Amino acid sequence: MHHATIVLWLAFAICALVAEFVFAQEPATRAETLQRRREEKAQHLQPPKPGRVEKTLLDLESGRLFERLLNPAEGLYPRIGNITSGSGFSLGPGYRQAGIFGGHANFSTFAAVSLSKYWMLDARLHLPRLANNHAAFEVHGQRYDFPKEDFFGLGPDSRREDEVTYGLGNTVVGVTGAYKPTPWLSVSGAIDHLQPTINARAEPGEILSLFSDGQAPGVLDQPTFFKYEAMIDVNTRQPRGNPRGGGRYALTYQRFNDTDDNRYSFHRVEADVQHYVPLLRDRRVLALRGLASFSDADEGAEVPFYLQRTLGGPDDLRGFRHFRFRDRNALLLQAEYRWEIFTAVDGAIFYDTGKVASRKEDIDLHDLESDYGIGFRFGTINGVFLRVEGAFGSSAGAHFVLRFGNVF
């Protein structure tokens, strides 16, 4: 046999043996095929490793941080939001304790300070389930300081260029009682002791540089007040935090008694009517609001400027500065068309109009200030967490609104 042929046969034999060995490793059944894949995987097992973002979100959910931020029921939480109109973004610690005094009372308190150095301390003891859940009672105390409140003068003809600021402080202690014969009807009363202070200076840009006590009643001295309030509130909004139907119809009477020398005693009657017209199975809503506020000073007394009704700002006339208009009487009409864009976001087109007047008979539909705009609301079907709006068409130019909570 030729040498090369021998080599060839030898190579064939070796290859055949190798092939036989290789083929012997091939699975003979489907089950064996799967078993081998599993055995192969068993060599490389590792525990599941959530990513950093996933782990963070899981920790946040486990710690219920979202609930504590958005709707805390108890415990220490960061209170985020506005203190008052114009305060800017504020932050501070809050604390709630539910079920104290045998489970009948809830306690809540917070301290907050804003970027504009506004601050507020607030504490409340609330008994929400009295008289078989038909009555509630609250004791509250509040201390705040708003160092740069805007003032443009009184009346509908106040001028934008007269803008000045003043500081407003107040200490409020009071009680509130409410009776709710039905879930939609509430009759309530409140008594508060108010101790306001005005920080007024004559430097440029400050209130006394342009306005006297006659033009801004109460700017030079502030008495303490007892405030008495009675309210009937019919509330059929559904759902309450982001209404798609129903309405809220509230009538309020307030009496402010100057406890010093009665120079600033007055009373106020206010009607706030909100109505929501559901459209397209609640996916669109026409939201309407009318507010009329009338204040009457006692004989020889004045209504202090810092307790007068104001218009202007992100909750009423959105195309104007905070507190742009101020007087004894006010009228506000608002209309919004809201439409659901997707589950968590609504769009809104709005129109606001209103006026202030020193005399009740001047509250009519003539010479109204107005604005219109468009905005977006972020939240859930049960509540608005944040709204972003652009207001245009007013005599004061365009305004941008970024606000926690719904407008009405």
Minimum CB–partner distance for residue 91 and other proteins (Å): 19
Minimum CB–partner distance for residue 180 and other proteins (Å): 16
Minimum CB–partner distance for residue 52 and other proteins (Å): 11
CB closer to other proteins out of 19 and 220: 19
Runs of H (alpha helix) within 26-111: 30-42, 52-62, 65-70, 100-103
- Judged by CB under 8 A, which of 69, 74, 88, 177 binds other proteins? 74
Minimum CB–partner distance for residue 58 and other proteins (Å): 4
| Residue of 137, 63, 136, 76 lying closest to 110 (CA atoms) | 76
By the rule CB under 8 A, 177 interacts with other proteins: no
- Integer CA distances (angstroms), 146 to 45, 84, 86, 169, 170, in order: 62, 9, 9, 6, 9
By the rule CB under 8 A, 35 interacts with other proteins: yes
The piece of 48-56, 79-87, 167-175, 360-368 that touches other proteins (CB under 8 A) is 48-56
Distance, in Å, from the CA atom of 108 to the CA atom of 138, rounded to the nearest integer, reads 11
CB closer to other proteins out of 338 and 403: 338
| Residue of 247, 331, 328, 338 lying closest to 292 (CA atoms) | 331
Q: How many CB atoms lie within 10 A of CB 233?
A: 17
By the rule CB under 8 A, 45 interacts with other proteins: yes
The piece of 37-45, 210-218, 228-236, 259-267 that touches other proteins (CB under 8 A) is 37-45
CB closer to other proteins out of 35 and 262: 35
Q: How many CB atoms lie within 10 A of CB 75?
A: 12
- Judged by CB under 8 A, which of 8, 100, 131, 232 binds other proteins? 8
By the rule CB under 8 A, 52 interacts with other proteins: no
| Site map 80..119 versus other proteins, x via CB under 8 A | -------------------x---x----------------
Chain residues 309-348 in contact with other proteins, contact rule CB under 8 A: 337, 339-345, 347
- HSE at residue 194, side-chain half, CA atoms within 13 A, is 23
CB closer to other proteins out of 72 and 313: 72
- Judged by CB under 8 A, which of 16, 131, 185, 220 binds other proteins? 16
By the rule CB under 8 A, 42 interacts with other proteins: yes
- Judged by CB under 8 A, which of 62, 132, 204, 300 binds other proteins? 62
- Judged by CB under 8 A, which of 349, 388, 398, 402 binds other proteins? 349
Q: Are 93 and 68 in contact (CB under 8 A)?
A: no
Residues written for the chain? 408
Number of residues that bind other proteins (CB under 8 A): 67
Token digits for 154? 């009184």
The piece of 1-9, 180-188, 201-209, 253-261 that touches other proteins (CB under 8 A) is 1-9
- DSSP assignment letter at 324: -
In degrees and rounded to multiples of 5, residue 95 shows phi and psi of -145, 135
CB closer to other proteins out of 117 and 283: 283
| Site map 357..386 versus other proteins, x via CB under 8 A | ------------------------x-----
- HSE at residue 55, side-chain half, CA atoms within 13 A, is 5
Going through 86-194 in order, the beta strands assigned E by DSSP cover 89-99, 105-114, 119-130, 135-151, 164-182, 185-194
Burial of residue 377 (number of CB atoms within 10 Å: 0-12, 13-18, 19+) = buried
By the rule CB under 8 A, 33 interacts with other proteins: yes
Q: Are 317 and 394 in contact (CB under 8 A)?
A: yes
Distance, in Å, from the CA atom of 155 to the CA atom of 386, rounded to the nearest integer, reads 32
Please list the helix, strand and coil fractions of the chain in percent, rounded to the nearest 5, in that order.
15, 50, 35
CB closer to other proteins out of 57 and 335: 57
In degrees and rounded to multiples of 5, residue 332 shows phi and psi of -135, 130
CB closer to other proteins out of 16 and 232: 16
Give the residues lining the site for other proteins (CB under 8 A).
Answer: 2, 4-5, 7-8, 11-12, 15-16, 18-19, 22-23, 26-31, 33-35, 37-39, 41-42, 45-50, 53-54, 57-58, 60-64, 66-68, 72-76, 99, 103, 280-281, 283-284, 337, 339-345, 347, 349, 381
